[in-house]
Amino acid sequence: MRMGTIADAANKEASGSSLANEKVTVVFVLGGPGSGKGTQCANIVQHFRYTHLSAGDLLREEIKSGSGNGTMIQTMIKDGKIVPSEVTVMLLLRAMRESGNDKFLIDGFPRNEENRVAFEAVINIEPAFVLYFDCPEDEMERRLLKRNQGREDDNIVTIRKRFKVFMESSLPVIEYYNSKGKVCKIDAGKPAEEVFEAVKAVFA
């Protein structure tokens, strides 16, 4: 199936599935690699009963499932192509419907303006707000190198590339929502406990 067809299939599956008329709360969680998003999302889930969805995890699960969609996604990634935004949005929508919850943290998404536009077009809702973990680059670098969980992408050259991609792709999304007064910026350079105190203040 060609790239156009995969996006068409995603649109077809998602059409009529917009969440616009349902009382759903979506919070986008953005921050550079090593900014502590994962740790804080786990805390929010525990304290505020949100469902945590990671676009990257959903794509990986779809590949593992061996479905037709999963095989196409895997081929595209292997070929160095970017998975169409509609496909990621379709996976998010499906996960939201299956969760039985009405409050969602969407982690590491939208990665870029195209993702943002696709999400709002297909799901037909805007986020309640964007939780932006703002962390100095040298601190994120230190954390990633220390973490080194056997992840081959945690070496200095790749880490810096990931920072660059985040700055170029995700900052325009943050700026867009900031212009609408929807960004809650958290100083993520502090110890995790202190960061969560600031997060709690936002959700309370």
Q: Quick check: 62 and 70 in contact, CB under 8 A?
A: yes
C-beta of residue 102 within 8 angstroms of C-beta of residue 22: yes
What residues are designated binding site for ATP?
Answer: 34-39, 147, 190
Indicate the annotated binding residues for CMP: 115
| Rounded Cα gap, residues 118 and 114, in angstroms | 6
Dist CA 88 CA 119 (whole Å)? 9
Q: Which residues are annotated as a binding site?
A: 34-39, 60, 81-83, 108-111, 115, 147, 151, 162, 190
Give helix 3-14 / helix 68-78 axis angle, nearest 10°: 140
Binding-site residue set for a ribonucleoside 5'-phosphate: 60, 81-83, 108-111, 151, 162
